[in-house]
Amino acid sequence: MQKITPFLWFNDNAEEAVNFYLSVFNDAKIGTVTRYGDAGPGPKGSVMIATFTLFGQEYIALNGGPMFKFTEAISFVVNCETQEEVDDLWEQLSAGGSKSRCGWLKDKFGLSWQIVPTALPRLMSDPDPAKAKRVAMAMMKMDKIDIAALQAAYDAG
């Protein structure tokens, strides 16, 4: 059991969200599912809590009602090795949600994600401040991160 587990509060669609995340990520599995019984407070048979794992990281999803909403103050960073992976996750996770700047998006459940190629922090941490600045400036103009454009900014000069 991991020491710290992200706990995601959904209104009434935790099961749909979990199934969506399981379909998006190739290293994903469902854990335990606890359903509401006769005592409620949710509808009998609906998911109360579901656990799931993405790339070895466990999450807990709760159908807790409409009191709380997700905000951009919390997001999940997905480190991607290739542009194909960036493109695929960008499109899948933003479907029904919204795309934003610098690799950020919201999925259809309102959860924020950052789709980040591993090249970005590597290029931005170059000891040459001019190279790092060019990469940062290029990234600031992007919605979905483009690895080739980052590399071109890095190489320019």
pLDDT at 18: 98
Domain boundaries, the chain: 1-68, 70-157
Pairing mode, strands 28-35 and 47-54: antiparallel
Q: How confident is the model at residue 40 (pLDDT cuts 50, 70, 90)?
A: confident
Q: How confident is the model at residue 148 (pLDDT cuts 50, 70, 90)?
A: very high
Weakest-pLDDT range from 31-45, 99-113, 136-150: 31-45
Bond into 41 cis (ω within 30)? yes
CATH number given to 1-68 = 3.30.720.100
DSSP bridge partners of 34: 49
Question: CB neighbours of 144 closer than 8 A, spacing ≥ 6?
Answer: 86, 87, 90, 99, 103, 115
Q: Which two tokens stand for residue 145?
A: 């991160």
pLDDT at 116: 98
pLDDT at 47: 95
pLDDT exceeds cutoff 80 at 4: yes
pLDDT at 69: 95
Residue range 72-131, pLDDT digits in tens: 999 999 999 999 999 999 999 999 999 999 999 999 999 999 999 999 999 999 999 999
Q: What is the mean pLDDT of residues 64-72?
A: 94
Task: Kindly report the pTM of this predicted structure.
Answer: 0.93
CATH number given to 70-157 = 3.10.180.10
Quick one: what percent of the chain has pLDDT higher than 70? Answer: 100
pLDDT at 41: 87
Average pLDDT, the chain: 96
